[in-house]
A and B are shown apart, each in its own frame.
Chain A
Amino acid sequence: MSVKMGSSSTSVIQAQKLVDQLRVEATMERFKISLTATDLVRYCQEHKRSDPLITGIAASSNPFKDKKSCVLL
C-alpha cells in the first residue's frame, strides 16, 4: 500500500468518525431556553441567601479574618 493510499483511507476513517459523532449529537433531546433559563434563575435565587460571597460573612464567623486582640469588657 503506497503512502498516498494509506493517508486517504485514514482521512476517510476520520471523516466517517466525524459524521458518526455528529449523528450522535444531532439526535440529542434539547430543551427550550424558557425552561432551562427559568430553572437557572430559580436555582440562583434559591441559593443566594446561603452564598457567603454574596451575603457577606460576619467577622466573628469568618475563619479567614484575623481576630482582634482587644476585647470589649
Chain B
Amino acid sequence: MGEMEQLRKEADNLKDQITAARKAMQDTTLQEAAASINVVGRVQLKTRKTLRGHLAKIYAMHWSTDSKLCVSASQDGKLIVWDSITTNKVNAIPLKSSWVMTCAYAPSGNLVACGGLDNMCSIYNLKGKDGNVKVMRELAAHTGYLSCCRFLSDSEIITSSGDCTCVLWDIETGTQKTIFAGHQGDCMSLAVSPDFKFFISGACDFTAKLWDIREGTCRQTFGGHENLSRINYILDLCKLYDLRADQELITYQDSSIMCGVTSLAPSLSGRLLLAGYDDFNVNIWDTLKAERVGVLAGHDNRVSCIGVSSDGMACCTGSWDSFLKIWN
C-alpha cells in the first residue's frame, strides 16, 4: 500500500506544479488583449440550400476539401454524398449497420468513412472502377463504439472510441499503427491539426488531450488537472483553450442559453465560432470578444453536427430533423 500512497502523492505534487506553471503564464487575459478591437458586426446568414433525403436523425456531416461535396450519416442506415450547390445526391451508400455516429471525407475526395455502434470504421471507395461504391476496408479492433473518425490521407485514418482509446490505422493493411491510450472515459470526438502532426481528442473524463501522431504520446491535457476539493456544478459550455499557454482563455456563455452544445466549427479566419445546440439553433460567437453575434434558426430538432467548408464560403448544419442546411 505504501507504493500506491507514494504514487498518489507524486501525482498530486505534479498536478500542483502544472497548476502553478499555468498560473505563471497569466500576465493578462484574452479580454484585455482584445480590448481595443470592436465586436464583429451582427452576422446574418441565410439558408441557401436544404438537403432533403435522409429518413431519420442525422448524426454527422463532413465537407469534402473541394468545398462543394459533403457527406452525411443518418440512422436511416445511409451515407449520402451531396453536391451542396445543386443539392443532388452524388452517392447514397447503404450501410451494414444503421447505428452510425460519425462520418468523414478523405482530403483527396476518393474515400469516405463511417462507424458507430458496430465498433468498426468502414472505409468506402467512391472512385471504384465500375462506378459502384463498395466497402474497401473494415477497421475492426475497438471494443467500444466509434464516436469519430478523420482521414490523414487515403492510407491513414484516426478513430476515437467509447473504449477510451483513439487509434491511428493503416487502411491498406487494416491494422492499428498506434493506439493512443490515456483517457479515463469514452472518447467522443477528435480534430486533426492542419499540418497533420497532432490531433486533439475530447472524452467523457471531462478532459481534452493533445496527441503527437508520430510519437504516439500525449503532450497536453486540458480540463482535468485541477484537484477538486468540492463538487462543482458542471454546465454545458464552450471554452477556448490556448495550446502554448496551456490553459483556458475564455468561455462562451450567455445566461439566456440553458442547453448543451453538440457541435463546433470555426469560420475561416477563426474570428467566428459557430456552435450547434440542443435547442435546435446555432449560435455564432465572436471568438475574441465572447459575445453572441448571430443565430441560425431553421431546424426543427437538435442540431447534431456543423461544418464550415475549406474555402470558408458556407456553413453546413445537420439535424435530428433529418435535414442538412447550407448557410451563408
Residues of the B chain whose Cβ atoms lie less than 8 Å from the Cβ of A37: 28-30, 32-34, 242, 245, 249
Do residues B7 and A15 form an inter-chain contact, with CB atoms below 8 A? yes
Residues of the A chain whose Cβ atoms lie less than 8 Å from the Cβ of B8: 15
Beta-carbon contacts of B24-38 to A below 8 Å, as 1s and 0s?
Answer: 111111101110010
Instruction: Give chain B interface residues in 299-314, CB to chain A under 8 Å.
Output: 308, 311-314
Do residues A44 and B11 form an inter-chain contact, with CB atoms below 8 A? no
Instruction: Give chain B interface residues in 266-294, CB to chain A under 8 Å.
Output: 267-272, 287-288
Do residues B11 and A15 form an inter-chain contact, with CB atoms below 8 A? yes
Q: How far does the alpha carbon of A22 sit from the alpha carbon of B7 in the complex, in Å? A: 11
Chain B CB within 8 A of A71 CB: no
CB distance from B73 to the nearest CB of A (A): 22
Q: How far does the alpha carbon of A35 sit from the alpha carbon of B27 in the complex, in Å? A: 9
Residues of the A chain whose Cβ atoms lie less than 8 Å from the Cβ of B225: 22, 25
Chain A CB within 8 A of B69 CB: no
Residue of B84, B85, B245 touching A33 (CB-CB under 8 A): B245
CB distance from A54 to the nearest CB of B (A): 6
Residues of the A chain whose Cβ atoms lie less than 8 Å from the Cβ of B7: 12, 15-16, 18-19
Residue of A31, A53, A62 touching B244 (CB-CB under 8 A): A31
Chain A CB within 8 A of B3 CB: yes
Chain A, interface size category, equals 35 or more
Residue of A36, A47, A66 touching B270 (CB-CB under 8 A): A47
CB distance from B317 to the nearest CB of A (A): 13
The verdict on A22 contacting B11 (CB below 8 Å), with A33-B27, A41-B33 known, is yes
Which residue of chain B lies nearest to A47 when distances are taken between CB atoms in the complex? B269
Chain A CB within 8 A of B120 CB: no
Residues of the B chain whose Cβ atoms lie less than 8 Å from the Cβ of A22: 11, 14-15, 18, 225
Count of A-B contacts with CB under 8 A? 159
Residues of the B chain whose Cβ atoms lie less than 8 Å from the Cβ of A4: none
CB distance from A65 to the nearest CB of B (A): 6
Do residues B271 and A30 form an inter-chain contact, with CB atoms below 8 A? no
Chain A CB within 8 A of B10 CB: yes
Residues of the B chain whose Cβ atoms lie less than 8 Å from the Cβ of A15: 4, 7-8, 11
Residue of B15, B30, B218 touching A40 (CB-CB under 8 A): B30
Count of chain B residues near A, Cβ 8 A:
60
Chain A CB within 8 A of B93 CB: no
Do residues A54 and B220 form an inter-chain contact, with CB atoms below 8 A? no
Beta-carbon contacts of B20-51 to A below 8 Å, as 1s and 0s?
Answer: 01101111111011100100100101001100
Instruction: Give chain B interface residues in 248-273, CB to chain A under 8 Å.
Output: 249, 267-272
Do residues B244 and A30 form an inter-chain contact, with CB atoms below 8 A? yes
**13 CB < 8 A contacts A-B:** A15-B4, A24-B219, A30-B244, A32-B27, A35-B244, A37-B30, A37-B245, A38-B33, A44-B269, A48-B40, A51-B271, A53-B308, A64-B85
Do residues B268 and A51 form an inter-chain contact, with CB atoms below 8 A? yes
Residues of the B chain whose Cβ atoms lie less than 8 Å from the Cβ of A65: 48
Q: How far does the alpha carbon of A51 sit from the alpha carbon of B84 in the complex, in Å? A: 20
Q: How far does the alpha carbon of A43 sit from the alpha carbon of B287 in the complex, in Å? A: 12
Do residues B268 and A36 form an inter-chain contact, with CB atoms below 8 A? no
Q: How far does the alpha carbon of A16 sit from the alpha carbon of B246 in the complex, in Å? A: 23
Q: How far does the alpha carbon of A33 sit from the alpha carbon of B27 in the complex, in Å? A: 6
CB distance from B101 to the nearest CB of A (A): 27
- 6 new A-B contacts, CB < 8 A, other than A32-B27, A44-B287, A54-B269, are A18-B7, A25-B220, A26-B21, A44-B269, A48-B271, A64-B328
